[in-house]
Amino acid sequence: MTSVHEAEPSAPAPGHVPREPVRPSAEPMSWAMLSRALAVPLILGLVCFLPAVIAAQPGSGVRDNAYWLQLVLACYAGARLATMILSTRRRLLQGIFWMFVYIAMGVAPFAQAVIGQTPTPVVGPRGDLVTAVALVLVGCAAFDLGALLANRRPLRRRAAARFGTGPATVHRGRLRVLVLLAFAASGYYVMKVGGPAVFFTSRQEISASVAASGVVTEGSQVGPAFLKAFGTVPALLGLLFCTRRLVTSRRARRSPSTVLAWGALLVLNVIVNNPVSNARYWFLTVLVSLLFTAFPSSPAMYRSVLALGVVGALVVFPYADRFRYDGDGYRPVESSSVFEPLATKDYDQTVMFANAITWVDTRGHGYGRQLAGSALFFVPRSVWDGKPEDTGVRVGQWMGMRMTNLSSPLWAEFWVDFGAPGMAGAFALVGYAAARTDRRYARAVSRDGPGPGSVAAVAVPLLAGYAFILLRGPLLQSVGKLAVAALCLLLVTSFRERGERRPR
C-alpha cells in the first residue's frame, strides 16, 4: 500500500483537457523588491525634498496660516501619492486623484504662496484663502475615509449575476456599430471644420472653423460642444476597445479585420484627438486611458504614469499650450525658475476656490442649483430660463475678469451648493466610489475576469484619464464628453453569458 505522499494520481475523466501548471510571474516579485528600494527616496522626494526646494525659492510671499496649511496639504498629498505608487494593487482612480491633488492643489499653490504671485487675483480677504486650503484638506480626509470604508466591505457579485446573467461585456455586433458611428461622427466633424489639415494648425483655428461651420447659435455653445464630443469620444472608445482585444486575445491578433480596424481607428484618432487641436487635459485623457488599456496588468506602467506624471505636470505641462493660438497670438513663457510658471498660469484651482467662497458670501449657497445645471447640460437655455452658467464663468464675471474661462475645482462645486458639511459628505462618497471601482477594475483585468470583452477594463482607464478634467472643473464644461462616453458604453454593453474566453 502506498503512503499518502506516494499515492498515484487518479486517471483523468474522459474528455478532460489537462491544464498547464500556472507558473508564478517574476514581475510582481521584482516590483515588490524594487518598491522597497524606492520607498524611502520616493517618500522623501515627494514629501520633503520638493516642498523644501520650493520653500527655498526667492519670493515675496507671506508666511501666514495659508502658507503653513498649504505646506501641510502638499506633504499630506505627497505621502498619499507615494502610497499609491508603492502599492501592490493598481488603484487607477485613487492614484489619479492624489496625483491631481499633489500637483494642482498642493505643490503649485505652495509655489504661488512662496513666490507671492497667483494666476488670478484673490479678490476677497486673506481669510478666505486660508478657509479654501483648510477645506481642501477636509475634502481629502473625507475622500480617504470613504476609500477606507469601501475597502473594508467585501466585493460581491453584481445583482445581475444572481439572475443568471454575466458581467458587463462588449457585444460584438454593437461594437461594430460603435466603430461605424466613430468614423461617421469624426468624418462629419472633419468635414465641418474644413478638412484634416486644420487639425494640425492650432486650437484657435479649430474654434474659428467651428464658429464658421454654422453649428453655433447666439448665446449657446451646445452645438459646438456636441460636435466636438461626438467627433472625438466615439473614436477614442473604439480605439480602446480594439486595443483591449488585441492585447488580450490571440484570436483577435490573428484576425486581419480586427487589426485593420485598429489601424484605421489609430489614424482617425491621430487626426481628431492629437495634442495640437485639443486641450491639454483632453489629450492627457487620451494618453492615460490608452496606456492603462494597453497595459492592464503592468505594475511598471501604473507606477510610471503616476511618477512621471508629476514631473510632466511641473516641467512640461505649463509649456504644452504651444498650439493654443496661432503664430501671432502665441506668447511663450519666460521664466528664470521651473516653479515660476506654476505661479503665473494654469494652476488657479486654489485661488479660484477662495474666490468662490467670497462669491458665496455675497449671494448664499445654491443648494444644488449649480449641480442641477451641470447634470441637465443638454437642456437649452431657451427652454430653461435662468439656467446656471459655469461656476468658473459666474465667479469670473463677478470678479470683473475679461477672460472668464477659469477653473472651478470639484471642492468649489460642492461648496457653492452645499457648504462644508455637504462638501465633506460628497467627497466621502467620491472616495467610496473610487475605491470600489478600482477593486472591480482589478477583478476585471485578472485571470478570473470577463476576458477581452470586459467593459470595465476600458471604462475605468477612460474615467481615470478624464478625472483630471472633472477635478479641475467647471463641471458644466466637463459633463458633455462624459455623457457621450456613457452613451457609447451603454451601446456596446451586454450582460449575457457569452463572449470569448481568455486564452490560457
Q: What is the distance between the alpha carbons of residues 453 and 502, in angstroms, rounded to a whole number?
A: 9
pLDDT for residue 134 is more than 70: yes
Q: What is the distance between the alpha carbons of residues 278 and 269, in angstroms, rounded to a whole number?
A: 11
% of the chain surpassing 90 pLDDT? 43
Structural domain contains residue 25: no
pLDDT digits (tens, 9 = 90+) for 217-236: 555 566 777 888 899 999 99
Structural domain contains residue 16: no
pLDDT at res. 296: 87
Rg (CA), the chain: 25
Identify the band that residue 262 occupies on the pLDDT scale cut at 50, 70 and 90: very high
Give the range of the structural domain holding residue 292, as residue numbers without chain letter.
Answer: 38-154+162-504
Q: What is the mean pLDDT of the chain?
A: 82
Q: Could you tell me if 206 and 199 are in contact, meaning their C-beta atoms sit under 8 angstroms apart?
A: yes
Which residues 6+ apart lie within 8 Å of 143 measured at CB? 97, 427, 428, 430, 431, 434
Q: How far is CA 469 from CA 404, 409, 481, in A?
A: 17, 9, 10
User: Which range, of 32-41, 75-84, 334-343, averages the lowest pLDDT?
Assistant: 32-41
User: Which range, of 18-32, 114-128, 133-147, averages the lowest pLDDT?
Assistant: 18-32
pLDDT digits (tens, 9 = 90+) for 154-204: 776 554 444 445 678 888 889 999 999 999 999 999 998 888 888 888 777
Q: What is the distance between the alpha carbons of residues 457 and 464, in angstroms, rounded to a whole number?
A: 11
Mean pLDDT of 6-20: 42
pLDDT at res. 224: 75
pLDDT for residue 4 is more than 80: no
pLDDT digits (tens, 9 = 90+) for 47-105: 889 999 999 888 888 888 999 999 999 999 999 999 998 887 889 999 999 999 999 99
pLDDT at res. 14: 45
Q: What is the distance between the alpha carbons of residues 244 and 489, in angstroms, rounded to a whole number?
A: 14
pLDDT at res. 218: 55
Find, among 52, 57, 47, the residue nearest to 112 by Cα. 57
pLDDT at res. 331: 52
pLDDT at res. 183: 95
Structural domain contains residue 399: yes
Structural domain contains residue 313: yes
Name the phi and psi angles at 494, rounded to 5.
Answer: -135, 145
Structural domain contains residue 14: no
Q: What is the distance between the alpha carbons of residues 101 and 94, in angstroms, rounded to a whole number?
A: 11
Structural domain contains residue 328: yes
pLDDT digits (tens, 9 = 90+) for 298-307: 888 888 888 8
The residue ranking higher by pLDDT, 6 or 262, is 262
Identify the band that residue 498 occupies on the pLDDT scale cut at 50, 70 and 90: very low
pLDDT digits (tens, 9 = 90+) for 450-497: 788 889 999 999 999 999 999 998 888 888 899 999 999 999 998 865
Residue 291 neighbours by CB distance under 10 Å:
17
Report how far Cα 337 is from the mean position of its chain's Cα atoms. Answer: 28
pLDDT at res. 222: 67
Structural domain contains residue 22: no
pLDDT digits (tens, 9 = 90+) for 77-86: 999 999 998 8
The residue ranking higher by pLDDT, 78 or 502, is 78
User: Which range, of 220-229, 320-329, 367-376, averages the lowest pLDDT?
Assistant: 320-329
pLDDT at res. 337: 65
**Amino acid letter, residue 80:** R
Residue 404: left if φ>0, alpha if ψ -120 to 50, beta else—which one?
Answer: alpha
pLDDT at res. 236: 95
pLDDT for residue 315 is more than 70: yes
Q: What is the distance between the alpha carbons of residues 202 and 276, in angstroms, rounded to a whole number?
A: 6
Please state the domain count of the chain: 1
pLDDT at res. 213: 64
Which residues 6+ apart lie within 8 Å of 204 measured at CB? 324, 325, 326, 329
3-class secondary structure, 88: coil
pLDDT at res. 378: 81
pLDDT digits (tens, 9 = 90+) for 423-450: 999 999 999 999 999 999 998 888 777 7
Residue 263 neighbours by CB distance under 10 Å:
11
pLDDT at res. 24: 40
Identify the band that residue 214 occupies on the pLDDT scale cut at 50, 70 and 90: low
The residue ranking higher by pLDDT, 282 or 35, is 282
Structural domain contains residue 24: no
